Amino acid sequence: MNVADSELISGLLSNNGYEKTKNIFQADIIFVNTCAIREHAEDKVHSRLGLYNKIKEKKPDTIIGVLGCMAQNLKDDILESKPFVDIVLGPDSYRNLLNMINSRDKEKSQLMDTKLSKYEVYENIFPRRNNGVNAWISIMRGCDKFCTFCVVPYTRGRERSRSIESIVNEAKQAVIDGFSEITLLGQNVNSYNHAKGGFEKLLDSVAKVNGVKRIRYTSPHPQDMSQKVLDIMSKHENICNYIHLPLQAGNNNVLKRMNRTYTKEDFIDLVDKIRKSLPKVGISTDIIVGFPGETEIEFQETLDVMKKVKFDSAYTFKYSSRPGTKAAEFDDHLEESEKQDRLEKVIDLQRKHTLFQNKKYIENIEMVLVEKESKKSIKHWAGRTDSNKWVIFDKSNTNIGDIVPVTISSVRGITLQGEIVNIREMEAA
């Protein structure tokens, strides 16, 4: 989400004569695009701002801006405690950026715009994308789900969707610009809803764009994962067999206190339904441990659901209290050591499940999109299967952006190792 917003901001700036510099010490303007989802994310921004302050001490004309969710959440705090910050802009105010830079040059006072909008979806502003094979396309903004632990509905405002037409146009442009993969983005991608149709209609329309080799989307909410979406996924070759399905917790009381709107039984049934529709699907998840009041017995049920589902991978988090959210007001917060202990248990179990799922791939031939050079050596590529598993393999005359058949030979940690199938040998066999 943040990468996509940064690319949008980059697009706005580069269309108006600004250029990226490789040397931050020479920059005229430094913007930090921020995330407020967990305390850790905020801590990182505070320490970055410390560095930018040092740069500004040496070069006082440098404009420093704090953009995005943290700007929304901590605006007064930033303006008071960080006088070297010139501009504070919330996630719905990026169109105001150039005005602000211009007035900042004249006024030399701190400027702020953090109004949230019911309508802003940045229609028709083309992002300036980073290099790579994947183009992020933001299809909707905001969230109306109000999970009690989550700050997003407060920092990014109400849910609103872009038109299918403008998303399709952006997908066409991404193909022209040479991107092999498109990832549709939103806080709740599958509650996408625009006058001309819902998420399944959008997926179908993007899949039909000529030249789109791969489509992914993230993150869907289990509540809105419909059979229609699964049917569209199985209908189109170019929609990846992969779903990120955030569980958060495996106990019904905890799920209720989180306001997640599904039970553990609903979640397990949904996974069964997904695997029936898409037999080769990869499923990953998000898990929060140590939500306020979570007992040891309740926590064990998260492990139970994990054992039933055996996710391919999981992003695991210790609950982090976010001021302004409902759960922050609960009076039964857990000790840090308890959260840490539970986190380690979840990570350990997930490691086993990832290995279990990955071993099923040995001897398979998988179509892998070549994405970058492997950290292992300059002779190897790293790429992903359509089920979202990283594969390391020899380069043998292939290029970044190609989709190539790879025989999986072994599993190491979370990655697979393989060799490119020699097409001529394959045809001769």
Minimum Å gap between C-beta 203 and ligand SF4 is 19
Contacted entry of ligand SAH, ligand SF4, none for residue 162, CB cut-off 5 to 8 Å set by kind: none
Figure out which of the listed residues 52, 94, 136, 149 binds ligand SAH, where binding follows CB under 6 A: 149
The residues pairing with 282 across neighbouring beta strands, listed in sequence order, are 242
**Residue 188 vs 316, nearer CB to ligand SF4:** 188
**Residue 129 vs 339, nearer CB to ligand SF4:** 339
Contacted entry of ligand SF4, ligand SAH, none for residue 319, CB cut-off 5 to 8 Å set by kind: ligand SAH
Quick one: tokens of 134? 């994947």
**Residue 320 vs 340, nearer CB to ligand SAH:** 320
**Residue 148 vs 350, nearer CB to ligand SF4:** 148
Contacted entry of ligand SF4, ligand SAH, none for residue 394, CB cut-off 5 to 8 Å set by kind: none
Q: Compute how many residues bind ligand SAH; rule: CB under 6 A.
A: 16
Minimum Å gap between C-beta 320 and ligand SAH is 4
Minimum Å gap between C-beta 316 and ligand SF4 is 15
Minimum Å gap between C-beta 418 and ligand SAH is 31
Minimum Å gap between C-beta 289 and ligand SAH is 9
Contacted entry of ligand SAH, ligand SF4, none for residue 384, CB cut-off 5 to 8 Å set by kind: none
Quick one: tokens of 278? 């898409």
List the one residue out of 169, 247, 162 whose CA is nearest residue 196: 162
Query: How many Å is the maximal CA-CA distance in the chain?
Result: 74
| Radius of gyration from C-alpha coordinates of the chain | 23
Handedness of CA 185, 187, 191, 194 (dihedral sign): negative
Q: Residue 215, class by beta-carbon neighbours within 10 Å (0-12 exposed, 13-18 middle, 19+ buried)?
A: buried
Contact 289, 258 (CB under 8 A): no
**Residue 53 vs 218, nearer CB to ligand SAH:** 218
The residue behind tokens 């495996």 is 250
Minimum Å gap between C-beta 189 and ligand SAH is 9
Contacted entry of ligand SF4, ligand SAH, none for residue 322, CB cut-off 5 to 8 Å set by kind: ligand SAH
Contacted entry of ligand SAH, ligand SF4, none for residue 288, CB cut-off 5 to 8 Å set by kind: ligand SAH
Minimum Å gap between C-beta 259 and ligand SAH is 11
* DSSP result, 230-258: HHHHHH-TTB-SEEE---B-S-HHHHHHH
* CA 38 – CA 249 distance, rounded (Å): 17
Contacted entry of ligand SAH, ligand SF4, none for residue 153, CB cut-off 5 to 8 Å set by kind: ligand SF4
* Residues numbered 306-335 forming contacts with ligand SAH, rule: CB under 6 A: 317, 319-320, 322
**Residue 140 vs 143, nearer CB to ligand SF4:** 143
**Residue 222 vs 383, nearer CB to ligand SF4:** 222
* CA 64 – CA 48 distance, rounded (Å): 11
Interacting residue ranges for ligand SF4, rule: CB under 6 A: 143, 145-147, 150, 152-153, 187-188, 221
* CA 400 – CA 414 distance, rounded (Å): 21
**Residue 134 vs 248, nearer CB to ligand SAH:** 248
* CA 133 – CA 180 distance, rounded (Å): 5
Handedness of CA 139, 141, 146, 149 (dihedral sign): positive
* CA 291 – CA 325 distance, rounded (Å): 13
Contacted entry of ligand SF4, ligand SAH, none for residue 257, CB cut-off 5 to 8 Å set by kind: none
388 phi, psi to nearest 5 deg: 80, 30
Minimum Å gap between C-beta 4 and ligand SAH is 14
CA distances from 202 to 48, 142, 217, 284 (A): 38, 18, 11, 23
Contacted entry of ligand SAH, ligand SF4, none for residue 146, CB cut-off 5 to 8 Å set by kind: ligand SF4
* CA 197 – CA 201 distance, rounded (Å): 6
Minimum Å gap between C-beta 192 and ligand SF4 is 13
Quick one: tokens of 409? 């030979």
Contact 193, 224 (CB under 8 A): no
Minimum Å gap between C-beta 149 and ligand SAH is 4
* CA 108 – CA 122 distance, rounded (Å): 28
**Residue 162 vs 322, nearer CB to ligand SAH:** 322
Residues 6+ apart with CB under 8 A from 51: none
133 phi, psi to nearest 5 deg: -95, -15
Binding footprint of ligand SAH on the chain (CB under 6 A): 37-38, 149-150, 187-188, 219, 221, 246, 248, 286, 288, 317, 319-320, 322
